[in-house]
Every structure is written in structure tokens, then in C-alpha cells.
Amino acid sequence: MIQMSLRSFLHVDPKSPFSLANIPFGIVSSSSNPHKRAATILGNWVIDLAQLASAGLLKNVQGLENPEIVFSKSDLNCFAALGRFTISRTRERLQELLSESCETLKNNDYLRKCALISDKDVTCHLPMSIGDYTDFYTCRNHAFNASKAMRGENASLPPAFLRLPIAYHGRASSIVSSGTSIRRPLGQTSTGGEPSFGPCTKMDYEAEMGFFVCKPNTLGERVAINEAEDHIFGAVLLNDWSARDIQSFEYFPLGPFNGKNFATSISPWIVTLDALEPFKCALPEHDYADPEYLCMSRKAGYNVNIQIDLRVSGSEDTATIGQTNLKHLYWSAAQMLTHHTVGGCNLRTGDLLGTGTISGDSNDKLGCFLELSRNGKQSVKITGSAARTWLEDGDEIIMTAWAGKDSARVGFGECRGVILPATKF
């Protein structure tokens, strides 16, 4: 591994989620160049990787054969498919080029002008072409609270929860990038009697993370647990918007359908597993011994803070409604991936695995309104006179996440979305 100073020649605010210790990957366009292309971000500077490649600064990165082609594409799938080793070497090369001790980019005014763009002049797009999206349900606190909220105080964890990471197959086509507005869905709902059709009245968010697959596996062949992390590119924030009234009527026995398939938002920058490595922590104790195919080091969780803010419709008033942490997951990302493939299902480059809603163990650490309002039974004070049981039209959810100390933060930026009124029906 290359040793370099973790200070850059560029100014980086100590609170920035995008320190030199991070170097995530994304897809951007800019006011001066509308073509989508690959980039990284450092502080408030977006760095155009296609430009660095065409200037020859990314040759000699092991495994990165055609950086100009790979980084000129409108998604990161080709880059991700090169695998963890090459992703790591590329990130290290970028850290070297951006460090204060390296003269190459620092002293090249022309290239700095072409390759460094203010984040204000950039639009971020979905980083990957997502073929398939699977949403897991791996946080014990959430599963316990959601069971009670949906199925009554006597309900307990779903029967398989402690034995395997449970999941449903989600919808990839409606995954949108942060900032895309979310249309309140229409659907059938029932409170016990005759169902009625209309706009969702129990609009919810779910604070999750998503892991992107880099290395695919062959149909019929499972991924061994000790190789699972080689198949994971990195992570993003994920909001699995949920229409709780539509979901509760439709979901027996096959699981959520229209209650969750109308939109899922993700943050734009993929934070690599390498950047997250220093924040590895122990998974919670398991009640049962894991089956052999899921047995791995207990140090497979990540200590990443997650914050959920709500901006109240029609105002600038914003309040934090939840502060949780990725470490609350009962199952690791590696266990999710291995379990997904255990029967021979093939994952492909660009597939996205959602973790499920992440909640801590107290009321200020919950990841959705289903838990906060006990499925609409109690009102939640937001700020000033504003209170909510569910999201209203015009409300905005802003999720952020970060690990690490000031000046070396490894953060995700924002995952935000505003609720638009339902279409006329």
C-alpha cells in the first residue's frame, strides 16, 4: 500500500464528509459538460476522472486497462466489474494525486482547471445501472418494533429472523438519485371493511444503507462467506419509501408490492468498503449459532452514524427525527450477499442490496414513522407547532451518514426527497 500524507493541497473543511480518507465514486454532469462521466469528490471539489484519465494520470493503476473508456461511461458498472483489487488501487492513486506531497496535479494549472469542478456546478446521477434490487430486513430493533406496530403488541420477530437474513425482491426501475421528488402513490387500502382506492394516507420513509455488487457470481454457484466482501463495491444511503396503508392490505402472503415499488432514493457517492474498513465493528451477539455457510468473523459490522432530518412542508424548519447507526444490523452485508446466492441465484455487477430499516434501541434512534408513531397511533412533535404521524405533501426527508473524526471523515453526503401530492384519480 502506498503511504501518503492524508492532507490535500485542496482546501477541505474538517467537517466535510468527503475527506482524503474517503474518495468515493459517482457519476456526474456539469454546466460546462452535460455528458455523464465518472468522478470522485474531495471537500467541495468534484474531480472528473475522465479528464484525469485522458491526461494519462491513471495509467499504471494495476488492472485498470482503459481508464479513459471506463471513466467516460454514464455508469460505474464497467469500473466496478474490474473488482475490489483494482477499485482499491484506483482509490489509492487518487489519494496520492490529491495529496499535498504530490506535485503532478497540484502544479498543473491547466489540468486543475479542466478536472476540478465546484460541487455547485455539478449534477449527480445514479452511480450504477441497477439490474436488480433486493431489500433485506436485518435490524433486530426495527423488526421487533415493526412487528408490534403492524401485527399487535403480542407479535414477535418473524420466525426466520434470527436464523437467516430475510429479504424480498424489490424494484430496480424506480430507484432514483437524491433530490428526485417522490409522488405520493395511489392504491387500495382497507381498515378491515370494504377496500377503498385513493392516495396513500400513511406515507413513510425508511432509513437504510445499500451495498452495490461489483463482482458477479455464476448462476448455480454460491459465494463462499469468506469471499463475499470481494463481491461488494461499496455503500450508499438508501430511503425505501413505503406506503404503509397500501402495504398492510396487500402484503399477505407474498410481501410488499405497490406499497414499496413506487420509489427508492439513494445517495450519489459510492463509499468503498476500503474507506469503511477502519470503522469495522462487532455484529450484535447472535442468539443461535450461525449455520456454517454464514459463519464469519464477528467483526463484520460497521460503525457509521446515520441521521434523519425532516424539513416541514412550506417552511425552512428542519428537525432531526432520528439518529441511528449501521452497527445495529444483526446480519452483515457479507452474510446478506452469501445468503442471497446460497441456492444458486446469480448476482450481477450493479445489483443493489438494501439492509432494511436501521433503528437503535430508543425513541430518538428510530428509522421510520411506522416505529415513531406506532403505526399512526401517536403524533410525533417535529419542530415548533409541527407534528406528524406520517409524511405530508411538501415534507422533505434528508438522510446523512458519516464515520470518523473531523478532517478524516468518511461520509455519504445526502439522500433527500420531497413528497409531491398524488396525481388526480
Ligand X SMILES: O=C(O)/C=C/C(=O)CC(=O)CC(=O)O
Please enumerate, by residue number, every residue annotated as part of a binding site for Ca(2+): 135, 206, 208, 240
Given Ca ion, Mg ion, ligand X, none, residue 150, with its beta carbon under 5 to 8 Å by kind, binds ligand X
The three cell numbers locating residue 8? 490535500
Task: Identify which of 212, 214, 6, 28 has the alpha carbon closest to the alpha carbon of residue 92.
Answer: 6
Sign of CA dihedral 367, 354, 391, 375: negative
Say which entry of Ca ion, ligand X, Mg ion, none residue 216 contacts (CB below 5 to 8 A, set by partner kind).
Answer: none
Q: In whole angstroms, what is the distance from residue 271 CA to residue 304 CA?
A: 12
* Binding span for ligand X by CB under 6 A among 43-51, 113-121, 142-150, 397-405: 142-150
Chosen from Mg ion, ligand X, Ca ion, none, partner binding at 177 (C-beta under 5 to 8 Å by type): none
Of 48, 204, 229, 240, the residue at the interface with Ca ion (CB under 5 A) is 240
Of the candidates 176, 178, 123, 184, the one whose C-alpha atom is nearest the C-alpha of residue 394 is: 184
Amino acid at 190: S
User: Minimal CA–CA distance to 125: which of 271, 268, 272, 264?
Assistant: 268
Give the nearest distance from C-beta 228 to Ca ion in angstroms. 21
State in angstroms the smallest separation of the CB of 263 from Mg ion: 6
Phi, psi of 112 (to 5 degrees): -60, -40
Instruction: Give the integer Cα–Cα distance in Å for 232 and 211.
Output: 7
- In angstroms, the CA 174 to CA 167 distance is 18
CA contacts within 13 A on the Cβ side of 420: 11
For residue 281, the minimal CB distance to ligand X (Å) is 22
What residue ranges bind Mg ion (CB under 5 A)? 240, 260, 264
Contact residue for Ca ion among 48, 96, 204, 206 (CB under 5 A): 206
Q: 339 an active-site residue?
A: no
**Contact range with ligand X by CB under 6 A, out of 6-14, 150-158, 159-167, 294-302:** 150-158
Provide CB contacts within 8 A for 159, sequence distance 6+.
none
Stretch that binds ligand X, among 48-56, 87-95, 143-151, 416-424 (CB under 6 A): 143-151
Output the nine-digit C-alpha cell for 267.
445517495
- Residue 282: CB atoms within 10 A of its CB come to 12
Site for ligand X in 188-207 (CB under 6 A): 206
Pairing mode of beta strands 305-311, 271-272: unpaired
DSSP for residue 417: E
Show the binding pattern over residues 114-143: x = contacts Ca ion (CB under 5 A), - = does not: ---------------------x--------
Q: Which is nearer to ligand X, 158 or 394 (CB)?
A: 158
Distance, in Å, from the CA atom of 75 to the CA atom of 175, rounded to the nearest integer, reads 14
Residues 285-304 that bind Ca ion (CB under 5 A): none
Single out the residue of 40, 134, 189, 242 in contact with ligand X (rule: CB under 6 A).
242
Q: Is 210 exposed, middle or buried (0-12, 13-18, 19+ CB in 10 A)?
A: buried
Residue number with the smallest Cβ distance to Ca ion: 240
Q: Which one of ligand X, Mg ion, Ca ion, none interacts with residue 264, CB within 5 to 8 A by kind? A: Mg ion
At its nearest, how many Å lie between Ca ion and the CB of residue 260?
Answer: 7
Nearer residue to Mg ion within complex by CB, 300 or 399 = 399
Task: Provide the pairing of β-strand 242-243 with 203-204.
Answer: antiparallel
Candidates 134, 258, 357, 373: give the one binding ligand X (CB under 6 A): 357
Q: Which residues contact 191 (CB under 8 A, 6 or more apart)?
A: none
Stretch that binds ligand X, among 45-53, 111-119, 147-155, 173-181 (CB under 6 A): 147-155
Catalytic site residue from 11, 35, 125, 142 = 142
Backbone angles phi, psi at 142, to 5 degrees: -65, -45
Q: Does 204 bind Ca ion (CB under 5 A)?
A: no
Residue 341 contact, options Ca ion, ligand X, Mg ion, none, Cβ 5-8 Å cut-off depending on partner type: none
Which positions lie near ligand X, rule CB under 6 A?
A: 135, 137, 146-147, 150-151, 158, 206, 240, 242, 356-357
Which positions lie near Ca ion, rule CB under 5 A?
A: 135, 206, 240
Tell me which residues are annotated as active site. Answer: 142
